[in-house]
Structure 1
Amino acid sequence: METTRRQLVAGAAGIVCLAGDLRAMSSRADTPANAVQTSETEIIITINDATVGSEDRAAWVSVTLSVPTNRTIALEYSARTSTRNAAASPSEPQANTPRTIARGYLIFQPGEQQKTIEVPLQHPLLPGKSIDVELTDYFIYPQHVYASRIGTIGSSVGTPTQIASRNDMTELPPLPPNGTVVFSDDLRAPDFASDSGFRADGKPCWQSRPSHGRRQDGNRELGYYADPSLNPEATVWDIDPSTGHRFIQAEYVPTGLSDGKGGKLTPGWQPNVPFKYTAAMVTSLTLFNSITTGSYVEFDVKLSKIAGSWPALWLKRANNESPLEIDIIEAFIKSSDYPVDAITSSIHWGGKQGHRTYGASVPLTHLEQGADIFSRFNRFGCLLGEKQITYYFNGKPFCAMPNLVGIGSWYMLIDVAVGGVVGEPPEPNMFPARFHIANIRVIQFG
């Protein structure tokens, strides 16, 4: 089987991914047409074409990065029969319905550069027929489109030819031993959180809102970050009697939230429409805000799969410097089809071109068979290294990003948002969307 690289057609444009958008880049004679270029490290992702012999029962298609990645990149592939003759022009009519042959995903960890897709063939690929192998982002991280490229498997007559299968493997760092627990909380105290971040006796506690207020207008969110003392019509949090653990939740309030003055609370970006959803957030801004290099932050949590909700665990700078942020996990639950094992991890920082972000949506089943973020509690963690931030699932590393956000100090946020990038909930009566919390720890190493 032979492997070839498609070359860029003169005058065509590739795609460069900058934080949050797609922009055309100038054509380059040495850039393959089925490659995509990403920002910062100029990584070009290429899926190669392949040719199988008349006796081959599998095709091997290589996916290559122009340089080893400095961050986790998760890609999905789908191999399907082509709707046109391999020799036909792309502009010719398509006569047949494509049939999916194989699906799967590739995960490039820092330091890795090449992976191989194996496509099984039940029957020999006839001359003139072809198979398209499409490469896209795994699931969706709304801030990026790393790749949407197609490689082609064609057929030849004669002796089968093969390429060497290559899958680079770089181990992410395990958790270090002998750390010191510097913070731990199960959030079960009756006065665990307040609007001010302080208890009645003046001692710090969790704060029930973002530092800038109780609305997230910049994201066009549909939920108001409520507090039970300020919004008595809302059940913002409670203890689950079946587990004994704390939960926070977002609710549907069809009559709208009262502003306490005879009117309704409204979003700043939609002032004539009342908030019909509550959101929930607790932060450690006043309670514990000294997370820094060598800190490992761990949350033992269970999420709810409610379309239109957006649960997340993240870190913000203690001085609230924007846009610095570490998203340990986010679940962009746009529909009931959301995978039970998919989460997104990312970083946000300020670069020469403004707000920058790296993120990866990762299928956790590659790490733990039967992974499910909704049916049971799992431990999500984040280790802040001087050069790399590593993310963990039940104690095992699954994702990493370069440390472009600095040493901190940082504080923790837990929240269930509504709307924003996940859109308006399609079934409001499915709410509340609960975020269950069993324990939180910060361990300091070194």
Structure 2
Amino acid sequence: MSATRRQVLAGAASVVCLTGDLYATRSRADTPANVVQSTESEIAVSIDNATLGSEDRVARVPVALSVPTNRTIALEYFARERANESNRPGPQANTSQTIARGYLIFQPGEQQKTIEVPLPRPLQPGRSLEVELADYFIYPQHVYASRVGRVTTDDGTPTHPTPRDDLFELPPLPARGTVVFSDDLRDTDFASDSGFRLDGRPCWQSRYSHGRRHDSNQELAYYADPTLNPEAKVWGSDPSTGHRFIQAEYVENGLSDGKGGKLLLGWQKNVPFRYTAAIVTSRTLFNRITTGSYVEFDVKLSKIAGSWPALWLKRVGDGWPPEIDILEAFIKSSAYPADAVTSSIHWLGDKGHRTYGASVPLTHVEPGADIFARFNRFGCFLSERQITYYFNGKPFCAMPNLVGVGPWYMLIDVTVGGVVGQPPDASIFPARMYIASVKVIQFG
């Protein structure tokens, strides 16, 4: 394509991502050969320059990582057209219009992607196009990117970079495994405080191994049990389907301590617990998850602002970290997207507690994905080098296995507050998680 006037996209410097201890070898097939191998890694994101002919209707903008990633990184972009600074005579000229929005998902081994921005018309003199690169639904503990590139009109020799999209497919689920654990949680005595039934058989445990509160997260809810806390329902069954649910509730008068007083938050003076949380763990029931295990939860969530549902694994024993988070939904407001989940790992590195996490739009793997409208299967497969996460049987996210072989047990919970903050409206509670089934398949 020929042109006498070009549009130039100015690239932006990158920002440094999370650092962490990486695995030292790459002998297995689930470790892409070009993934950086070092004890400490910094991954930066950058937008390159590009030029367009004056009649071009698509801007192709290269985005690159400083090294091939060893974990999933999800980015979002917005393209906006606006007037150039020198052509803004008044406040109204500062208005902009979003003309494109999309996602870039870097999977392990990938380093470069191309943003394609369709232009409604050729860029006119005095107008510019801004392409903002940012995290998709930012993982609470760190920031990967926040940069803006600009397309402006300029004269010169056009250059058209060749679009490049690295593609390293995540591994599919293995075949021919053995189901070593399966439960639908429908038994009336499916959970207890001790993790054992009255006849001595193990069951789900209705609390953490260390107790019924999580002050270090500044959570607002007490992990209640209906046997110990009569004012809390905590769990029940859907009368139409029979599916088990657990729930976080609002208790206006606060929870009783059984001694004439109220249970108080440990991190706020004289403030009672007015919310309950619900948790069930397989610590006493099944705690043999290890390398070669696939763990899957079939669940449906509720969009209740201020709630924090999660599906995760904890290593046997009371130490923390490590931790594997299959799903966390940080529901801060009613605007929470219906296809957003966060998957992560926590481990103990040379510099103390470390974490990798990715918030991935599930419509990237399944159009119309909705974690609130229907049941979905969330799982993870633990290999020696990599932990791969699955949505309805399709891989969507991966992290290096920096947490070891375990053994692990499962935790299912819904809490309130913490990283999602104070609920804006207590009247919309309870926040329920419906559970259709839980299973563990062992391969190899």
Q: Distance in 2 between matches of 1:369 and 1:148?
A: 27
* Corresponding residue for residue 60 of structure 1: 60
**TM-superposed deviation, 1:85:** 3.4
Judge conservation of contact 2:255–2:263 (CA < 8 Å) in 1: yes
Q: Distance in 1 between matches of 2:144 and 2:176?
A: 38
Q: What letter corresponds to residue 308 of structure 2 in structure 1?
A: W
Judge conservation of contact 2:249–2:431 (CA < 8 Å) in 1: yes
Which of residues 363, 366, 369 is equivalent to 2:367? 369
* Corresponding residue for residue 327 of structure 1: 325
Structure 2: stretches of 5+ with no match in the other structure: 1-5, 21-38
Give 1:422-433 correspondences, 5 Å limit.
422-433=420-431
Structure 1: stretches of 5+ with no match in the other structure: 9-13, 21-38
* Corresponding residue for residue 28 of structure 1: none
Aligned length: 420
SS in structure 2 of the partner of residue 99 of structure 1: strand
**TM-superposed deviation, 1:395:** 0.4
2:86 matches 1:80: no
Judge conservation of contact 1:2–1:162 (CA < 8 Å) in 2: no
SS in structure 2 of the partner of residue 130 of structure 1: strand
Deviation digits for residues 399-441 of structure 1 (CA, Å, limit 9, x no counterpart): 0000000000000000001000001111101000001001000
Judge conservation of contact 1:205–1:287 (CA < 8 Å) in 2: yes
Q: What letter corresponds to residue 386 of structure 1 in structure 2?
A: E
Give 1:79-98 correspondences, 5 Å limit.
79-85=79-85, 95-98=93-96
SS in structure 2 of the partner of residue 441 of structure 1: strand
* Corresponding residue for residue 349 of structure 1: 347
**TM-superposed deviation, 1:140:** 2.1
Q: Distance in 1 between matches of 2:413 and 2:11?
A: 45
Deviation digits for residues 3-61 of structure 1 (CA, Å, limit 9, x no counterpart): 777576xxxxx7434479xxxxxxxxxxxxxxxxxx94211211123322211111111
Judge conservation of contact 1:51–1:154 (CA < 8 Å) in 2: no
Deviation digits for residues 61-107 of structure 1 (CA, Å, limit 9, x no counterpart): 1100111110000000001124533899xxx9994212111111110
**TM-superposed deviation, 1:243:** 1.3
Q: Distance in 2 between matches of 1:59 and 1:7?
A: 16
Q: Identity rate of aligned residues, in percent? A: 73
Which of residues 120, 129, 132 is equivalent to 2:130? 132
Q: Distance in 2 between matches of 1:133 and 1:4?
A: 9
Q: Distance in 2 between matches of 1:162 and 1:87?
A: 27
* Corresponding residue for residue 47 of structure 1: 47
Q: What letter corresponds to residue 80 of structure 1 in structure 2?
A: R
Judge conservation of contact 2:294–2:442 (CA < 8 Å) in 1: yes
Q: Distance in 2 between matches of 1:156 and 1:50?
A: 12
Does the C-alpha gap of structure 1 residues 440 and 129 become closer, same or farther in structure 2, counting only changes over 3 Å? Answer: same
Does the C-alpha gap of structure 1 residues 87 and 385 become closer, same or farther in structure 2, counting only changes over 3 Å? Answer: farther
Q: Distance in 1 between matches of 2:12 and 2:47?
A: 12
Judge conservation of contact 2:17–2:42 (CA < 8 Å) in 1: no
**TM-superposed deviation, 1:127:** 3.3
Q: Which moved more, 1:194-203 or 1:46-55?
A: 46-55
Q: What letter corresponds to residue 172 of structure 2 in structure 1?
A: P
**TM-superposed deviation, 1:257:** 0.5
TM-score normalised by the chain length of structure 1: 0.90
SS in structure 2 of the partner of residue 251 of structure 1: strand
Judge conservation of contact 2:217–2:418 (CA < 8 Å) in 1: yes
2:120 matches 1:122: yes
Judge conservation of contact 1:136–1:147 (CA < 8 Å) in 2: yes
2:396 matches 1:415: no
Give 1:271-350 correspondences, 5 Å limit.
271-350=269-348
**TM-superposed deviation, 1:122:** 1.5
Judge conservation of contact 1:53–1:158 (CA < 8 Å) in 2: no
Which of residues 82, 98, 101 is equivalent to 2:99? 101
Deviation digits for residues 205-246 of structure 1 (CA, Å, limit 9, x no counterpart): 100011111111001000100001100111011111111110
Does the C-alpha gap of structure 1 residues 298 and 311 become closer, same or farther in structure 2, counting only changes over 3 Å? Answer: same
What value does the CA root-mean-square deviation take over the aligned residues?
Answer: 2.1
Judge conservation of contact 1:250–1:280 (CA < 8 Å) in 2: yes
Q: Distance in 1 between matches of 2:52 and 2:355?
A: 40
Q: What letter corresponds to residue 110 of structure 1 in structure 2?
A: P
SS in structure 1 of the partner of residue 94 of structure 2: coil
**TM-superposed deviation, 1:317:** 0.4
Does the C-alpha gap of structure 1 residues 320 and 82 become closer, same or farther in structure 2, counting only changes over 3 Å? Answer: farther
**TM-superposed deviation, 1:139:** 1.1
Give 1:185-200 correspondences, 5 Å limit.
185-200=183-198
Q: What letter corresponds to residue 426 of structure 1 in structure 2?
A: P
Q: What letter corresponds to residue 365 of structure 2 in structure 1?
A: L
* Corresponding residue for residue 441 of structure 2: 443
Deviation digits for residues 234-267 of structure 1 (CA, Å, limit 9, x no counterpart): 1011111111110000000011001111100111
SS in structure 1 of the partner of residue 250 of structure 2: coil
Deviation digits for residues 168-227 of structure 1 (CA, Å, limit 9, x no counterpart): 111100001100000011101111100111111111110001111111100100010000
* Corresponding residue for residue 69 of structure 2: 69
Deviation digits for residues 322-354 of structure 1 (CA, Å, limit 9, x no counterpart): 110000000000000000011000000011221
